[in-house]
Copies of this chain bind each other. A is one copy, B any other.
């Protein structure tokens, strides 16, 4: 089975229990992953994270960031994890056991970020709107939600098991046919939002949820790096025209 040329980053969003950060780091080390990013760790949590056996290196180089965008900006693939049990999701959930096949079908390569939500609430709808795919561990219906450290370990194991780990990065150059990374999509979205704002598209009350829908829509288009560049250019032109006309 040919390996999938992806370089993975594990992203913990707002974890509460320092033991879980340590356990996650150890699981990364166990399976040869290297990159851990923690989004908005609860203040004391981040400092308390004890060095987990064998994972000192990973914890030392782990980054803490304020916003999810900083954690996934350069990723071509963003994948969210969810039990899918607590909210009505209108999206397909990929069983973890099929995840490698899903990646292979898309000829995924480059940088990939795997998001885990906080112990209590999981990932929010806004977090999920950044994700190309949502993966679910096939757990029993009467006890679907897993411990965070254990869930991270299962993903690392499954990625290793199915040849979806590639360290170091497969190709130094930008692959234009791959999905645009999260940062350039976000730039397109911001520009589109400004244009739509000028056009009176948003209602103050629903602006946030409208943006989430737009992000989903944009993601589902499956824009390549090149597409995002072209679309960004088009929107910049429209924005310029509206502003100069309206000014």
Q: Contact residues of A with B, CB < 8 Å?
A: 19, 23, 26-27, 29-32, 52-55, 97, 137-140, 142-147, 149-150, 153-154, 157, 160-161
Contact = CB atoms under 8 A, between A and B. Distances in A.
Q: Number of copies of this chain in the oligomer? A: 2
Contacts of A146: 26-27, 30, 153
A211 B227 CA distance: 71
Given A26-B150, A32-B140, A53-B145, 10 more contacts: A19-B19, A29-B142, A29-B143, A30-B140, A30-B145, A30-B146, A30-B150, A31-B140, A52-B147, A54-B142
Nearest to A24: B150
Nearest to A138: B160
A147 B147 CA distance: 13
Q: Which 4 A-B pairs have the closest CB atoms?
A: A54-B143, A29-B143, A150-B153, A32-B140
A161 B29 CA distance: 23
Contacts of A161: 97, 138
Given A149-B149, A153-B154, A157-B154, A26 B137 contact: no
Contact of A139 (B30, B142, B147, B150): B30
B157 A137 contact: yes
Nearest to A160: B138
A150 B53 contact: no
A163 to B, nearest CB: 11
Contacts of A27: 146-147, 150
Contacts of A23: 147, 149-150
A54 B153 contact: no
Contacts of A32: 140
A149 B137 CA distance: 17
Contacts of A147: 23, 26-27, 52-53, 149, 153
Contact of A149 (B29, B55, B142, B150): B150
A154 B149 CA distance: 11
12 contacts: A23-B147, A23-B150, A26-B147, A27-B146, A29-B143, A30-B140, A30-B145, A30-B146, A52-B147, A53-B145, A137-B157, A149-B149
Among A143, A154, A160, max chain B CB count under 10 A is at A143
Given A145-B53, A147-B26, A31 B139 contact: yes
